[in-house]
Structure 1
Amino acid sequence: MARREFIGLLGGGLAWPLAARAQQLPAIGFLHSGSPEPNAKRVAGLRKGLADAGFVEGKNVAIEFRWAEGKDDRLPELASDLVRQRVAVIATLSSTAAAVAAKAATSTIPIYFLVADPPDELGLVSSLNRPGGNATGITTLAVEVAAKRLSLLRELAPKAISIALLVKPSHPSAKPVTASLQAAARTLGVELDVLEASTDREIEEAYLALRPGDGLVVATDPFFFIRRAQLVALSARHGVPTIYDSREFGEAGGLMSYGPNHVRLWQQAGTYIGRILKGEKPADLPVTQAAIFEMVINLKAAKALGVAVPDKLIALADEVIE
C-alpha cells in the first residue's frame, strides 16, 4: 500500500530529503474523525482525483493527514495544528464534525468538505449556490436518504413489528434523521426504537436491547464506519436484518447498504481541491449534491439471517454479492 511504502521510505536514509522537499510543496491538510486503515480505499480515490487535476502527492503537492481515531474532541486541536502549518487547503471528507472544526479554526484557509448534512444549516456556507466564504464541497442528503433506507429495510423484513435506529447522539444530523425516520415509520405502520451509542460498550448494549424480529438502520457516522466489522458481526450474531449507509458494509458481510459511493465522491473532491490549489475560490464554487445512490445486497448474509430477498430488490440492486 502507498502508506506502507511511505513509512518505509521514512525509515531509511531518504527521510530528511523527502521531508525537506515536502516543506516546499503546497500542502493539503486532511482532517477526519476516523482512522486511516478503514478509509484506505477512499483515500486512494482522493489521490486519484488529485492526480486527474494534475497533483501527485510527493511530486507537486503534500498531504498532511490528521486522524482523530474516533475521538471527535481532538478535532479542534488537530484543525488548529493544520492552520499553524499554513496548509493551502483543508479537506474534511465524510466527516461532518471535522468540517465544523475546520470552519471554527479558520475563516481564510479554503476548506473542501463532504458532509451528510445541509452545510448552510451547519454554518459552513451562506447558501448552496453561493457559499460566500472559505468553504464549499459536497452534501449527501442524510435526512432524505435515511428515510429511503428505512423503506428498503421494511421490504426485507415485512413482518417486523419494530425497527431500530442506531445513532450517535452527538452527530449533527442525529436529531433531524431521527425525526425523519419517525415520520417514515408512522407512514409504514412500524414502530421505531431509537438506540444511541457513542462507545463500543454502548454498541454492544444497543444490540442486547433489540427485540427478536427487529430490523436495524445504522445511521451515518465515521464512528460506525470504522467499526463496520464489529457492527456486521453483531448483526450476524444476534440475527438482526440491518441496512447501512455505504457499500463497504456490504463488502464486509453486511446484509444491505444504500447510499452514495464515497470512493467516487472522494475522487470528485480531489478534482475540486485541485481547482482550489490552482487558484479558484470556494466562494465561487457552488456546493454540489450527491446525485447517484447505490444499493448493495449481500445474499450470503441474507441466507445466514434467513431473509428472503424479493426479486424486485435484487433487480434494482447496483451490486449483488453472492
Structure 2
Amino acid sequence: AMPVIGFLHGGSPEPNVNPVAAFRKGLAEAGYVEGQNVAIEFRWAAGHDDRLPELAADLIRRRVAVIATPLSTQAALAAKAATTTIPIVFGTGGDPVALGLVTSFNRPGGNVTGISFMTAEMGAKLLGLLHELVPQAARFVALVNPTSSLAEPFIKDLQEGARTLGLQAEVLYAGTDREIDAAFVTLVQKRADALLIAPDALFTSRRAQLATLSLRHAVPSTHVIREFAEAGGLMSYGPNLANAYQQTGIYTGRILKGEKPADLPVAQPIKFELVINLKTAKVLGLNVPDKLLALADEVIE
C-alpha cells in the first residue's frame, strides 16, 4: 500500500492553494508524487485551533506514515501532544526549542523536526521598516492572535524595538473574523497611524480581508508574508512562504525514505524578502524613500 502523509493545518484550503503546490513540489524533489507513490490526507481547522487535537487524533487513527504541519505552529503542537511515535515535520515562525517541539536545532531528539523561520522575533524589524516608510507615524498598533504561541515572543520583541526607537506600540487582540473587524473599529477610534500584523496562520489565511480593511480605513500596514503585499497591504517582510512549504515537503519526503526526525537538524530559511506595494502607498499618500525601494526584493506598481 502507498504511504499516507497526514497534512494538518490551522488555516483553510482556499488561501493556501499555492503553498500546498509548493509543498507537493518539495515532495516531488524527494521522489514522491501524490497519487503515484504517496497519498495525502488533508485536515484543515479553518481558523478554529481548538479543533486541531481531534484532527490530529483522526490522522493517527488513519495510521499515517508522517504528519506535516507547514507554517502552522498550533498544528505542530497538537500533533506532538498526540503522538510520540509517528514522525512530525513542522514549519513554525517560533523558536522550536522554546515551544518544546525539539530539544535542539542540530539534534532534535524525538519524533519531530522541521523548518523554523523565527518570524516571532521580527516585531522590532517590522516596526523599524514601517517607521522608515511612515516617518511621521507616532502611534503604532500590533494585531496579535491571543491563542497563538508566537504572540508572547512577538510582543516582547516589538516592545523592545519600540523602546529603542522611542516609539509607542500598543497591542490589539483578534482570534476570529469578527474580532478582526472589531479590532479595526478600535484602531480607528485610537487614531492609529500604522499597523503591524503579527505572524499567525489565521492572519495569513485572512490576508485579503486584512489588506482590504487597512486600505478602507487608510492605515499603513505590514505583515510577514509577501502575499499580504500582493493582496494590497502596504508592505511585507519575512521568509519566502513558498520556499518554506517546499522545504517542509522535502523533509517529509526524506522521512518517508527512512531518515529519522531525531537526526534531521531543524532547517532555517536563507531568503527573507521585502515587498512594497507602491500602488497602496500612492492611495495612502505616502512617499516611499529611495533607500527602501533600493532594498526591496519586489515593488508592486
Which TM-score bucket, shorter chain as reference?
Answer: over 0.9
Distance 1:312 1:120 in 2: 36
Q: Are 2:199 and 1:220 equivalent residues in the alignment?
A: yes
Match of 2:94 in 1: 117
> Does residue 209 of structure 2 align to residue 235 of structure 1?
no
Distance between the aligned counterparts of 1:127 and 1:285, measured in 2?
A: 11
Structure 2 residue 35 is the aligned partner of structure 1 residue 94: no
User: How is 1:154-169 mapped onto 2 (pairs within 5 angstroms)?
Assistant: 154-169=131-146
Matches within 5 A, 1:194-209: 194-209=171-186
Shift of 1:146: 2.3
Structure 2 residue 155 is the aligned partner of structure 1 residue 178: yes
RMSD across aligned positions (CA) = 1.0
Q: 2:30 aligns with which of 49, 53, 59?
A: 53
- Point out where structure 1 has 5 or more consecutive residues left out of the alignment: 1-23
Q: CA–CA distance in 2 between the matches of 1:310 and 1:26?
A: 52
Moved more, 49-58 or 143-152: 143-152
1:132 to 109, 122, 145: 109
The answer for the alignment partner of 2:250 in structure 1 is 271
Normalising by the residue count of structure 2, what TM-score does the alignment of the two structures yield?
Answer: 0.97
Residue matched to 2:238: 259
Deviations 1:160-214 (A, max 9, x none): 1110000001100111211110110111111111000112222122112223351
TM-score, with length taken from structure 1: 0.91
What is the CA–CA distance in structure 1 between the aligned matches of 2:133 and 2:74, rounded to whole Å? 32
Q: Choose the corresponding residue for 1:36, options 13, 18, 21.
A: 13
What amino acid does structure 2 have at the position aligned with 1:260?
A: P
> Does the Cα contact within 8 Å between 1:141 and 1:290 map onto a contact in 2?
no
Instruction: State the distance in 1 between where 2:220 and 2:182 align.
Output: 17
Q: 1:246 — aligned with what?
A: 225
Runs of 4+ in 1 over 6 A off after TM superposition: none
1:289 aligns with 2:289: no
Q: Which structure 2 segments of 5+ residues have no match? A: none
The alpha-carbon distance between structure 1 residues 198 and 213, as it changes in their structure 2 partners (threshold 3 A), is closer
The alignment partner of 2:136 has SS state of: coil
Range moving further from structure 2, 262-271 or 274-283: 262-271
Please give the alpha-carbon distance, in whole angstroms, between the structure 2 residues aligned to 1:35 and 1:76.
Answer: 16
Q: Is the CA contact 1:96–1:114 (under 8 Å) kept in the aligned structure 2?
A: yes
CA contact 2:8–2:44 (8 Å) conserved in 1 = yes
User: Could you tell me whether the CA contact under 8 Å between 1:232 and 1:254 is conserved in 2?
Assistant: yes
**C-alpha separation between the residues in 2 aligned to 1:47 and 1:200?**
29
Residue 157 of structure 2 aligns to which amino acid in structure 1? Answer: S
